[in-house]
Amino acid sequence: MLLSRRTLFQSSAASLALVSAGCSATPTEAPEATLSAITEQLLNDYPEGATSAGVDTGARAALRGKLTDRSGAGQQVIAAQVGDALARLERIDLSRLQGEWRTHVDVVRTAYEIARDGFAFPFGDVAILDSNWSYRNSPYVLSQNVG
């Protein structure tokens, strides 16, 4: 199965429904609940992504028409949330996961590790988490290959 952002959003939403229905959690972080929470945070941080994925309806309708906070303070908030998400992902025992769930957790963990490293640079947003800006992760004047 090819993992795309849309697939991640859909699987996270389905997982959230299962967790909400009363599925029992494991002693370590439950991957379904963790990925669902991370997905919701990602959609809140980058609401344009919710609109472009077509999931700004129902409970997420408030995301429609909102924009990402690209101010310095807004980026610091997102960077802190990336660190929190990584801490949650590290509490998932990968040895207990099989198949697609192990792949999902690995992919999200890797993306968030890259984002964490990217936030160490002082020039703003990290494109790895934002599906609408994924082709420009540097100031335009420094990146001649995207102009």
Sequence spans of domains, the chain: 5-136
What pTM does this model have? 0.70
Give me the helices (H) in the chain, please.
5-20, 31-45, 47-53, 72-90, 99-119
User: Would you state the structure tokens that stand for residue 145, as one six-digit string?
Assistant: 């290959």
pLDDT tens column, 29-47: 789 999 999 999 999 999 9
Least confident residue range of 98-107, 111-120, 129-138:
129-138
How does DSSP classify residue 64?
A: T
% the chain with pLDDT above 70: 67
What distances in angstroms separate CA 83 from CA 50, 65, 87, 138, 143, one per listed residue? 22, 27, 6, 21, 27
